[in-house]
Chain A
Amino acid sequence: AQSVAQPEDQVNVAEGNPLTVKCTYSVSGNPYLFWYVQYPNRGLQFLLKYITGDNLVKGSYGFEAEFNKSQTSFHLKKPSALVSDSALYFCAVRDYGQNFVFGPGTRLSVLP
């Protein structure tokens, strides 16, 4: 069965500093990995995905993620955090069917 872990409930970072939100996964077969962001009382917004190819994936709003097969990780990164990046972030994996499995979420707070 597919599973996703986000080991940190909360990440705090100062504005302008780099940020990392961690994700590890467990899948059978090739991983199809996704990052989503959710602002209060809103739906989830797609940030980026890894399907195949380059291990560094670039996405929306300056975010990127690094796929590491040996460590089964897919960490989300941004070189310089903004206060407006403060939100709830979900990592997810898709199986060969229609099912997406979400991690528990990480709350990112960017402090001015």
Chain B
Amino acid sequence: DTEVTQTPKHLVMGMTNKKSLKCEQHMGHRAMYWYKQKAKKPPELMFVYSYEKLSINESVPSRFSPECPNSSLLNLHLHALQPEDSALYLCASSQASQGNPTGELFFGEGSRLTVL
């Protein structure tokens, strides 16, 4: 069982909709991640929050907007998406590195997004 919880598991939205993906962890991890994964491909990093501050943004289009309200929660706000944004969106967490990057990533089960 994963200790990273993602909701919703499935989401279908039109290109004009606004929706949000949510992620929660209670392992005390201070680094949280959003990944996008297409079928049979590796996860692609989108954003990383470290100590609730955005530390990595992999040139993601502005129609994806991350938010980290506190150390346990991570949101991904979606607006005006395109059909090619349809994918599995994975949240993950890890111990923050602080110069000692030995912790592994813990993944949620993902949110399957379909954009019509």
Contact = CB atoms under 8 A, between A and B. Distances in A.
Interface residues of B, number: 31
B48 A98 contact: yes
Interface stretch (B12-20, B62-70, B76-84, B105-113): B105-113
B47 to A, nearest CB: 10
A41 B112 contact: yes
B42 A104 contact: yes
Contacts of A90: 42-43
Contacts of A36: 105, 107
Nearest to B108: A43
B96 A98 contact: yes
Contacts of B110: 41-43
Contact of A46 (B6, B55, B105, B112): B105
Contacts of A88: 40
B99 interface: yes
Interface size class of A (residues with CB under 8 A): 20 to 34
Interface string A100-112: 1011110100000
Nearest to B42: A102
Contacts of B40: 88, 105, 107
Interface in A8-42: 32, 34, 36, 41-42
Contacts of A103: 42
A94 interface: yes
Interface centre among B4, B6, B31, B102 (most CB of A within 10 A): B102
23 contacts: A34-B104, A41-B112, A42-B109, A43-B4, A43-B6, A43-B90, A43-B92, A43-B108, A44-B43, A44-B92, A45-B107, A46-B104, A46-B105, A49-B104, A92-B105, A96-B99, A97-B97, A98-B48, A98-B94, A100-B45, A105-B40, A105-B41, A105-B42
Interface of B: 2, 4, 6, 31, 33, 40-43, 45, 48, 50, 55-56, 88, 90, 92, 94, 96-97, 99, 101-102, 104-110, 112
Pairs A-B, 6 closest by C-beta atoms: A43-B107, A102-B42, A44-B107, A43-B109, A51-B102, A98-B48
